[in-house]
Amino acid sequence: MARRRQSVTIKHVAADAGVSLQTVSRVINNEPNVRPEMKKRVQDSIDKLGYVPSIAAQRMSGSRSYLILAINDRARTIADWQARLGTDWVDQMLLGGMLASGERGYRMLVELVDTHNDHVERELSAAIAALQPDGVILTPPHSDNPLITGLLAKRNIPFARIGSKAAGPGIAMTMGDEHLAAIATDHLIELGHRRIGFIAGPDDYSLADWRIDGWRGAMERAGFDANGLCERGDFGFESGLAAARSLLDLPDPPTAIIASSDQMAVATLEVARADGLSVPDDLSLISFDNTPIVRFTEPPMTALDQPIAATTAKAVELLIDGEPRTGDEEPIVMEGSLVVRGSTGRVPQRAVN
């Protein structure tokens, strides 16, 4: 029976090159103060033996862990996974973060932390102790949690705050939520709509209010009244049903609705159909998520495409390659775009007459 091939380790490389383990580690980590001829000797052994550096080998220098840790909301993430709803926030986060990390010899790991957990500091401290990350990426609503940001700042761990504009430590980053809500509203206004409803997210997400500001600002610039046309949900389907029902039951209902998540947009589509409304002939609809769900509805939905992967990749780049920051800098904005599909159309003639 053939013997299983033994894995090549850093010890094999050191022995083949005739150098110490520390020298191999310095070459792997691309550290200075390694003579060119020594670097070539080690690299030749790496190539000959087919050695792939491990995180453990990279950590031998003791200065870095070569790990980036992304923190996401536990309850919402697990609920979406268990319901198999097809949302791809985490997928896009992994796509951008893992590729950007891999290009720099790093790895990105994801930890789920409860949003409203009284023991959030203990949870995060345990993860940091176990992984010793070189940087942390916070996603909403953790990016505005002072317990989390304060802990990371106290421990001098660089971190990026996606979905946060607040002053303070860390790299503040947004995906232009206010701008996206405004361009969605402007698109509907160009189609002749004046009564444009908005289904916002929960108020514990700062970006939910930014989106309201973008929608309301566009309505005001066009000279249209936005009062009474905003309802809140929790990004979930059931809350979308309730919010859409409130809007469509108004004495003068909106002819278009922007929903702040794919699930709330699909819920609005269901409520409209239950009322005998056709999309887009009677009601235009825009989702704030360009996920697989909204691409395969009938009709496919016009959606705001948030640059989740690009934003996470930029966060990784700044954490690994960026200059130290004071926390007083303006937030970094990664703006998305509007993808027009079949769920938006001209304002119904009945609303014009």
pLDDT at 5: 42
Mean pLDDT of 180-207: 95
pLDDT at 63: 64
Between these two residues, 220 and 50, which has the higher pLDDT value?
220
* Domain residue ranges of the chain, discontinuous segments joined by +: 10-61, 67-175+308-322, 177-305+338-352
113-117: long-range contacts at Cβ-Cβ below 8 A with a sequence spacing of 24 or more? 113/71, 113/72, 113/73, 113/74, 113/142, 113/148, 114/73, 114/74, 114/75, 115/73, 115/74, 115/75, 115/76, 115/141, 115/142, 115/145, 115/204
pLDDT at 184: 98
Residue 160 pLDDT more than 60? yes
Between these two residues, 25 and 334, which has the higher pLDDT value?
334
Least confident of 27-36, 40-49, 263-272, 333-342: 27-36
pLDDT at 56: 54
Residue 275 pLDDT more than 90? yes
Residue 28 pLDDT more than 80? no
Residue 30 pLDDT more than 90? no
φ, ψ at 98 (rounded to 5°): -70, -40
Q: Which of 254, 248, 258 has its CA nearest to residue 201?
A: 258
pLDDT at 119: 76
User: Mind listing the pLDDT tens digit for each residue in 120-145?
Assistant: 888 888 888 888 899 999 998 889 88
User: Mind listing the pLDDT tens digit for each residue in 145-155?
Assistant: 888 999 999 98
Between these two residues, 51 and 92, which has the higher pLDDT value?
92
pLDDT at 123: 82
Mean pLDDT of 51-77: 74
Q: Which residue has the tokens 């939905």?
A: 301
CA angle 67, 311, 265 (to 5 degrees): 120
User: Mind listing the pLDDT tens digit for each residue in 230-259?
Assistant: 999 999 999 999 999 999 999 999 999 999
Contact 84, 124 (CB under 8 A): no
Tell me whether the CATH fold assigned to 67-175+308-322 matches the one assigned to 177-305+338-352: yes
Mean pLDDT in the chain? Answer: 88
Q: Indicate the pLDDT class of residue 341, thresholds 50, 70 and 90.
A: very high
| Architecture field, domain 177-305+338-352 | 3-Layer(aba) Sandwich (3.40)
Q: Classify domain 67-175+308-322 at the CATH topology level.
A: Rossmann fold (3.40.50)
Least confident of 45-59, 164-178, 302-316, 323-337: 45-59
Mean pLDDT of 206-215: 95
Q: In what order do the strands lie in the sheet with 159-162?
A: 107-113, 67-73, 135-138, 159-162, 171-174, 332-333
Residue 3 pLDDT more than 50? no
Residue 39 pLDDT more than 50? yes
Residue 266 pLDDT more than 90? yes
Give the CATH H-level superfamily of domain 10-61: lambda repressor-like DNA-binding domains (1.10.260.40)
pLDDT at 2: 38
Residue 325 pLDDT more than 70? no
